[in-house]
Structure 1
């Protein structure tokens, strides 16, 4: 039940920016012994990351779908905007390592913000085969570091 609730909060927090999974995980560790063992800490981190990744895929798909809208088509009719978009698309699509590094940084340290990167990745059509595992690994690492760090301070 713990992992399901953590995943659900991760999903909600990934969709609604004012809900913080970090605060939830920090509180969970501070008030419970549920994350005392390394295996449980990793499982909780992974559950939170699965929820967050699913939410970021929703943002990604929404952005990808918006590229087909009339409003975006009108904006990209401007030659300068079109050239800028195509330049960024060539940089990202032609360089999977670079796009993976940006995604990993956003998912792990939060800079650039992952929600913005999710929208940009969807707009630029970064392959889901790169996007999903990179975000999942980065988020899992972020949450594991948070849980173990709070757990360490709670043990003092």
Structure 2
């Protein structure tokens, strides 16, 4: 149980600070426990990542209504980029979810960039969390299984 809690903590921390690498942490864990705990560890780490990314999502979601953002949007280049992403996303929630899932699964584009974008585009919170948990669970399970089998 301690391992699950520490995994959760490291994953939340890594969602805020990219220098804390959850994949490397899981690799070390897999080398110690093998493949037997891969699924609970993967899902725990995925929930931690989602929890951490909610902060980025909410900051961007609320930030689009702020005076600071209104001032930034006065700049034509910033407004053009914002409107371009908004135009692409409006009426296309599957596009936003697809990009978010890809970022969660393979890290391209970086989830640290996509999470606030999802907030700014006002993607449904439950869809946001579920998509990250799904993508990250698969990625983390593959890492844990791969290293566990390689070293086990």
In the superposition, the TM-score normalised over structure 1's length comes to 0.89
Root-mean-square deviation over aligned CA pairs: 1.5
In the TM superposition, residue 90 of structure 1 has moved relative to its aligned partner by 2.9
Task: Indicate the larger mover: 145-154 or 77-86.
Answer: 77-86
Distance 1:72 1:43 in 2: 40
Please show how residues 10-25 of structure 1 align to structure 2 within 5 Å. Answer: 10-25=11-26
SS at match of 1:13: helix
In the superposition, the TM-score normalised over structure 2's length comes to 0.91
In the TM superposition, residue 15 of structure 1 has moved relative to its aligned partner by 0.9
**Contact 1:13–1:19 (CA<8 Å) still a contact in 2?**
yes
Is it true that 1:74 corresponds to 2:71 in the alignment? Answer: yes
Is it true that 1:134 corresponds to 2:135 in the alignment? Answer: no
Please show how residues 1-150 of structure 1 align to structure 2 within 5 Å. Answer: 1-30=2-31, 32-33=32-33, 35-37=34-36, 40-78=37-75, 81-150=78-147
Deviations 1:62-114 (A, max 9, x none): 11122222221012134564344233213213111111110010000000000
Matched length: 151
**Contact 2:105–2:135 (CA<8 Å) still a contact in 1?**
yes
Relative contact order higher in (CA < 8 Å, ≥ 6 apart): 2
Distance 1:63 1:51 in 2: 19
**Contact 2:64–2:70 (CA<8 Å) still a contact in 1?**
yes
**Contact 1:93–1:126 (CA<8 Å) still a contact in 2?**
no
**Contact 2:35–2:144 (CA<8 Å) still a contact in 1?**
no
**Contact 1:104–1:134 (CA<8 Å) still a contact in 2?**
yes
Gaps of 5+ in 1: none
In the TM superposition, residue 9 of structure 1 has moved relative to its aligned partner by 0.7
